[in-house]
A and B are shown apart, each in its own frame.
Chain A
Amino acid sequence: MDLLLLLKAAAGLGILGLLLGVVLLVASIRLAVKVDPREERVRSALPGANCGGCGYPGCDGYAAAVVAGEAPTNACPVGGASVARQVADIMGTDASAPEPVVAKLICRGGTEQAPNRFQYQGATNCRQAALLLGGPKACIYGCIGMGHCVTVCPFGAIRLGDDNLPVIDEKKCTGCGACVRECPKHVLRLLPASKLVYLACASHDKGRAVKAVCKVGCIGCGLCVKNCPVGALKLVDNLPVMDEAKCIDCGICVHKCPTNSFIDRARGRPRAVINNNCNGCTLCATKACKFKAIEGEPKQKHRVITEKCIGCGECVKVCPKDAIDMVGALGHAHSSPRTI
């Protein structure tokens, strides 16, 4: 009896094991997924930090996306040009280095502009201060200003300015994003190094609430959205969101902003000058210029008021006679000058 039970148990388990083994064997053959061999090679060319800087879940995710043709070969910010070249070699496409990015502070509320609402006495560390009612600053969205980013920057590219706002040295910044991840207020953002114009406010509050806590906070009035010539701005949650692919860095939003919430990094901008081709059609003054910087009688040669011209170049686009030239170059903050 006992022996029989033993045999039955052994046979039962044995048959079950065999059955499951066969099922799994068949399944592994029938359900095999072919993995592109390039995926493995792309993966091994990547740094393997799994930082997610490319926007995909880890290096594996990015490698799969590259092979699937969904991701560009140069999206790895850590590997930079050399990794981009290797990946492009594997994929058989042209290598172009990814546009360098730098960290930018999207808050202008220093101690002067955005006061504290209570006196904080505790560890001077943004992350810890943020745990206490969101930090001492009256603006709940703004930079706390205790310099946690300064401590975490592995390249020493950030220092704390006089107004308790971090100042980022773009020559030292490698765009690694360490500060962006650590900032408890998410007011640091990676932007292309060549980007000239961006909004420096993170407050989603309504105008009145912003006014109460910050002098330079975006009140969500939408003037920039209305005046953007290329439709690159959209008001989302009381804050203009910029479509960087569309933005031409013309600077109109910077000058239209009543609260001075935009930052313009251009050192100098060209100015419009009207030449003798002008037949006084008034198109530039009535249709194009948003700053009343062009004056003149109809049928008479028009004139640019230099102090008012911001150099956006909108008038050039509408002039039917090629009568407007842009004089001077767009001085870039850190790279060589370029013209629009």
Chain B
Amino acid sequence: MNLNAGQILLGAFLVNNILLMRFIGLCPFFGVSNAVGTATGMSGAVIFVMLLATWVTWVLFHVVLVPLGLVFLRTAVFILVIAALVQFVEMFLRKNMRALYSALGIYLPLITTNCAILGVTFLNIDYGFNLLNATIFSVGTGLGFTLVIVLFAAIRERLADAPISRSFKGYPIAFVAASLVSLAFLGFAGLFGIAF
């Protein structure tokens, strides 16, 4: 696959948006999209963890698993490594970077075992990205996550005030709204000839 950096970024950001096109990471999408503030905090944690996880798993996969012929172990190994890594980073932040810890703190453990993180690390391997492209891809994915969850949180803040019949109040109307937003994102399909 020959893609330049811009195509990878845009593809991850809009065309194949992780939430609305790939439908990965839906638990935080509905769980913490009640308010724009929490959505932004969560997005920060996602970008942060996604980037870390990408680097560590990419190196681990190509330096350890491939030479040893243990490629089939990647699911177990990636989960283990990502969970341990985030645990470690959380402790490190708490000790040395208090400001960042209080900004991301409560969201870090929430996102650790999320499928969005695992999904991105797998996609990086499956697409055969080099480390630079993998970095670009995970940043793009993280930004796409941010865009959608913040937009959607704003929609949900308005939904909270809207006169909605009781049977639709809360999650039902959120799911309906999400499907409409997803339809809207379908408009990006094939943008600039990106289809991966």
Contacts and interface: CB of A to CB of B under 8 A. Distances in A.
A20 B73 CA distance: 16
B80 A16 contact: yes
B95 A31 contact: yes
A16 B81 contact: yes
Contact of B69 (A5, A31, A123, A130): A5
Contacts, number: 50
Contact of B84 (A12, A23, A123): A23
Interface string A55-69: 000000000000000
Contact of B81 (A12, A20, A27, A33): A20
A127 B158 CA distance: 10
B117 to A, nearest CB: 17
Given A24-B84, A123-B163, A31 B91 contact: yes
Interface string A1-23: 00001001100110011001001
Contacts of B91: 27-28, 31
A33 B68 contact: no
Contacts of A49: none
B189 to A, nearest CB: 33
B161 A131 contact: yes
A23 B92 CA distance: 12
A128 interface: yes
A123 B165 CA distance: 13
Contact of A16 (B77, B95, B96): B77
Interface residues of A, number: 21
Interface string B40-83: 00000000000000000000000010001110110011001100
A23 B88 contact: yes
A131 B162 contact: yes
B87 interface: yes
B94 A33 contact: yes
A20 B80 contact: yes
Describe B's contact surface by its main secondary structure: helix
A106 B96 CA distance: 44
Contacts of B70: 8-9, 12
B158 to A, nearest CB: 7
A24 B88 contact: yes
Interface residues of B, number: 22
Contacts of B64: 12
Contacts of A28: 91
Interface in B120-138: none
Contact of B163 (A8, A16, A23, A128): A128
Given A5-B69, A16-B80, A24-B87, A33 B158 contact: no
Contacts of A17: 80
A13 B161 contact: no
Interface string B128-167: 0000000000000000000000000000001001110000
B68 A20 contact: no
Given A8-B68, A12-B68, A123-B163, A20 B84 contact: yes
A21 to B, nearest CB: 8
Nearest to A184: B161
A9 B69 CA distance: 9
A130 B96 CA distance: 45
A123 B68 CA distance: 68
B95 A33 contact: yes
B10 to A, nearest CB: 35
Contacts of B84: 20, 23-24
Interface in A279-303: none
Interface in A19-56: 20, 23-24, 27-28, 31-33
Interface of A: 5, 8-9, 12-13, 16-17, 20, 23-24, 27-28, 31-33, 123, 127-128, 130-131, 184
Interface of B: 64, 68-70, 72-73, 76-77, 80-81, 84, 87-88, 91-92, 94-96, 158, 161-163
The 5 A-B pairs at the shortest CB distance, nearest first, are namely A20-B84, A31-B95, A31-B91, A127-B161, A27-B91
27 contacts: A8-B68, A8-B69, A9-B70, A9-B72, A12-B64, A12-B70, A12-B73, A13-B76, A13-B77, A13-B80, A16-B77, A16-B80, A17-B80, A20-B80, A24-B84, A27-B92, A31-B91, A31-B94, A31-B95, A31-B96, A123-B163, A127-B161, A128-B161, A128-B162, A128-B163, A130-B161, A131-B161
